[in-house]
Each structure stands twice: as structure tokens, then as C-alpha cells.
Amino acid sequence: MVRVACIGEAMIEMSLHEDTADLAVAGDTLNTAVYLKRCAPKIEVDYITRLGMDPFSERIQKFIASEELGGSKISLDPVAVPGLYAITLSASGERSFTYWRSASAARNLFADGVFSMLEGYDLIYLSGISLAILPNDVRRSLIAFLRTARQRVAYDNNHRPRLWDVEEAQKTTTEFWSFADIALPSLDDEMAIFGESEEAVIARFSNYSMDGALKCGQGGPVSIGEVVEQVYPAAKRVVDTTAAGDSFNGGYLAARLSGESQAAALQAGHEMAAKVVGFRGAIIPKSAV
């Protein structure tokens, strides 16, 4: 059985509707873990994070279990609590976020400098956010571990400028593109991190040999590591673009880890994202997948 570890921050999501709000559970790598498991139920997917001992942390743990994700390696912090974010939408469905995460328990993940919990997996998946929330010394130690790990590594450059300075984001992203086995960057994030044009980013990734996809929005992805020319159908409707990239990653990884071709995996990722943007919030109903 294929075993995957997804590392990151699970948060409480507050989706605003005029004068009311819906509460849910989400987080970039958690979203990917959910869609990966839904698309490939036979793959064993564990979520690795740090939570508190409060009612919201309990809510997150119950959600993780309800999605059939492994949670045995989630550590608990007696003082800290989960982060919170609110989503507001424009008329076109574009989202903006407001975060309360400075005291998040996930910031203390791997604080002991021990990464043995990551051994035994076939793939380790994480993102720029997974790394940006960590103290620099812990981030450096984790990167050093992943560089020499026997497991394959998949990385999404998911970029939040407020979490770290651009120099550290550039350094970290460049490092991962030098050793990651699967690259799942977003075009706009690469442009923001490196200050490059769309054409320059696409040209740079055309020279990389790792597996993966450069996510370019509704037009569909650009294949990394293998030339693929195919058409990607537009989403039938766009209500909320939250988790579009995360769900693409889940669909893509599910296909690749199940032995599908690169072309099929790119289509699977795009189709998953096209479904997700038709609903509000990061995690759509199971019946819609």
C-alpha cells in the first residue's frame, strides 16, 4: 500500500455570508490530503500537524478522522490553539483572506528537531506555508532532513508574503526545486516570489526534469518533466476559488500514485479543481467528488 504524509497547518475556516458565517476546517495541505484520499481511497494518507487541547482542536481532529485520514502523529500543545482564517469573496468568486494565526500550535511542529515520524512513507507532501510558519532553525533542519530522505518529496510553493520575507521564500523555493521529486507550483506564486514574467516562469520550468505541474488557473496546467499537449475544459461555474490549487494537487497526486500517466494525472487534477470552484469553502461535499 502506498503511504503518504501531508505536513502543515489545519485551521478553522470562517466563510462570511453577509451578516452570518459558516465554520469549517481547512488548510492548504489538509485540503490536498482530503482530496487525495477521496480520489484514491486505497492510498494511506496521514496528516501531520500540531493542535491544541481546546474545542476547536477537537473539531479539527474529528474532521480529519471523518475524512479517513490518519491522525496518529498529530501532536498536542497544552497552551496554543489552532489558527483561524476568514474568507470574503468578490462578485467574480475571487477570494481574499484575513488570518489569525500568529499563536497557532502548528508553529511549534517539529520544535524538538526530531523528524523520525516522517520515516516509512512513500511520499512526503508539504507547501511553502508548511515551512513559512516554522522558526528558521526548524525550517532549515526539516529541509536538511528532506534533502537526504529516502522518501519521495512533493512540494507546492503556496506563498503567503506576510508569513516570511521574500529572500527566505526565494531561498527555500529554489532549494526545493533542486531536489523535489514532484513539483506543484502555481504560476502566480512563482511570479510573486521571483519577480519574473509569466513567460520566464514557464521557460524555467520547461528545463526541470522532476515530475509535476505548473498550475496556471482556468486555462489548465503546464506539464513539468514531460511534454503534454491537451485541452482542459473550463469549470462550469465559479463560485469560490478557495482550494483550487490544493484540490488540483490532490487529484494529480492520486492519479500519479495510482499508476496513471502524466496526461491523465493533469486532467484529473484540473477536473478536481473545476469541481471545487463551484462550491463555497475549501472542502466540498463528498457527494460532489
Sorted by where each begins, the domain ranges of the chain are: 3-185+230-288
Cβ atoms of 51 and 76 within 8 Å: the answer is: yes
CA dihedral 212, 161, 194, 152 (to 10 degrees): -30
Active-site residue numbers? 246
The single residue listed with the C-alpha cell 479517513 is: 68
pLDDT at 242: 85
pLDDT at 92: 67
In sequence order, what E strands does the chain have? 3-7, 11-17, 20-26, 44-48, 50-51, 75-76, 83-89, 95-100, 123-127, 152-156, 182-183, 211-214, 222-224
pLDDT at 94: 66
Closest of 110, 120, 102 to residue 144, by C-alpha: 110
pLDDT in tens, the chain (289 residues): 899 999 999 999 888 777 788 889 999 999 999 999 999 999 999 999 999 999 999 999 999 999 999 999 999 999 999 999 887 777 665 667 788 998 899 999 999 999 999 999 999 999 999 999 999 999 999 999 999 999 999 999 999 999 999 999 999 999 999 999 999 999 999 999 999 999 999 999 999 999 999 999 988 999 999 999 999 998 999 888 889 999 999 999 999 999 999 999 999 999 999 999 999 888 999 887 7
Cβ atoms of 183 and 205 within 8 Å: the answer is: yes
Strands 83-89 and 11-17: parallel
Residue ranges of alpha helices (H) inside 40-186 are 55-66, 128-132, 136-148, 166-179
pTM: 0.95
Question: Residue 14: what residue type?
Answer: M
- In three-state secondary structure terms, 49 is coil
Beta-carbon contacts of residue 249 (< 8 Å; ≥ 6 apart): 32, 35, 36, 125, 154, 156, 184, 269
How far does the chain reach from its first CA to its final CA, in angstroms? 23
Distance CA 210, CA 14 (A): 36
CATH of domain 3-185+230-288: 3.40.1190.20
Cα 114 to chain center, whole Å?
22
Q: Give the Cβ contact number of residue 7 at 10 Å.
A: 26
